[in-house]
Amino acid sequence: MSQASDLQQIADANASGRRPVVFVHGLWLLPSSWDRWSALFAEAGYAPVSPGWPDDPDTVAEANAHPEVLAGKSVGQVADHFCDLIGKLDQQPAIVGHSFGGLITQISAGRGLSAASVAIDPAPFRGVLPLPFSALRSASPVLGNPANRHRAVPLTYEQFRYAFANAVSEDEARELYAEYAVPAPGEPLFQAAFANLNPWTEVTVDTENPARGPMLVMSGEKDHTVPHAVAHASYERQARNTGAVTEFVEMKGRGHALTIDSGWREVAETALAFVQRFA
């Protein structure tokens, strides 16, 4: 996703006069994973903006052909990238993020940049302590080799099936893998894995800023990558913010692919209803 494309989306949102909604994807996906969400939010009167991470290719085919362009992206770099883009919007946006995008959403909200935030199966930040086995297994294709910190790492179909698509049929899992899966930079996973051991980590969220705004944390009941214990621990940290609304919703029977699988609309409409209440 080129910087020019991102800036054009921002210009279009500003010209529309509508409230922007910024969508932030996570690892192993691209901005195109939000296309159906963008259409739904546009129908509801918002101006959708789905920027890429720095150097994101435009298509899944390009990403799989040139994984090296995805490597070497840190949480701090990606957070600063999105916060810079958000700062170019004329209106304070709602921000919706999935997985590591949910972490970036919380970082942005903690900097006072969000009118309302939805963090879906968010990757953990410093202070979130649960570390279930399924989360370790989901991350093991990256964390199993220290050299992966500086690489972009693809998932095999079997790894994707476990980490993302465990709650859908075999046929749907294969379709999702073919349509959406791309290599992901290893560095954010290493940063998150060691965040509680590193006082200087970039994987921190200001949960106490009274300007954080309303926040909804969503969890897929069957998520292996960000299990309920991890998502709810993030919610509990956020809920200490006495100056802002914090809510938690668990989506029954759903895995980590809940934003892209055949049940995406229920998840999107839950997020939209929250945003509509506050923004």
Q: Identify the pLDDT of residue 41.
A: 98
Closest by Cα among 124, 99, 93 to 30:
99
Q: Are 82 and 103 in contact (CB under 8 A)?
A: no
Mean per-residue pLDDT, 261-267: 98
Query: Would you state the torsion angle of the CA atoms of residues 158, 160, 162, 165, taken in this order, to the nearest 10 degrees?
Result: -120
Is the pLDDT confidence value at 1 over 60? no
Question: Residue 122 has which token pair?
Answer: 């968010």
Domains and their CATH numbers in the chain? 3-278 (3.40.50.1820)
Mean per-residue pLDDT, 245-268: 98
Judged by DSSP in three states, 92 sits in coil
Closest by Cα among 64, 71, 101 to 178:
64
d(CA 64, CA 181): 8
Q: What tens digit of pLDDT does each residue of 67-96 get?
A: 999 999 999 999 999 999 999 999 999 999
Mean per-residue pLDDT, 184-206: 95
Cβ neighbors of 201 (< 8 A, separation 6 or more) are: 126, 191, 194, 195
Q: What tens digit of pLDDT does each residue of 200-227 get?
A: 999 999 999 999 999 999 999 999 999 9
User: Hey, which residues does 247 pair with through a beta bridge?
Assistant: 216
Mean per-residue pLDDT, 22-35: 98
Mean per-residue pLDDT, 135-139: 94
- The pTM of this model reads 0.97
20 — pLDDT class (breaks 50, 70, 90): very high
Mean per-residue pLDDT, 9-18: 98
| Rounded alpha-carbon distances, angstroms, from residue 145 to 113, 141, 148, 189, 202 | 36, 8, 6, 12, 21
Mean per-residue pLDDT, 10-37: 98
Burial of 154 (0-12, 13-18, 19+ CB in 10 A): middle
Judged by DSSP in three states, 57 sits in coil
User: Hey, which residues does 184 pair with through a beta bridge?
Assistant: 153
Alpha helices in 111-153 (DSSP H): 133-143
Q: Identify the pLDDT of residue 17.
A: 97
Q: Which H or E element spans position 153?
A: strand 152-153
Q: Identify the pLDDT of residue 4.
A: 84
166 — pLDDT class (breaks 50, 70, 90): very high
pLDDT mean across residues, the chain: 97
d(CA 219, CA 59): 28
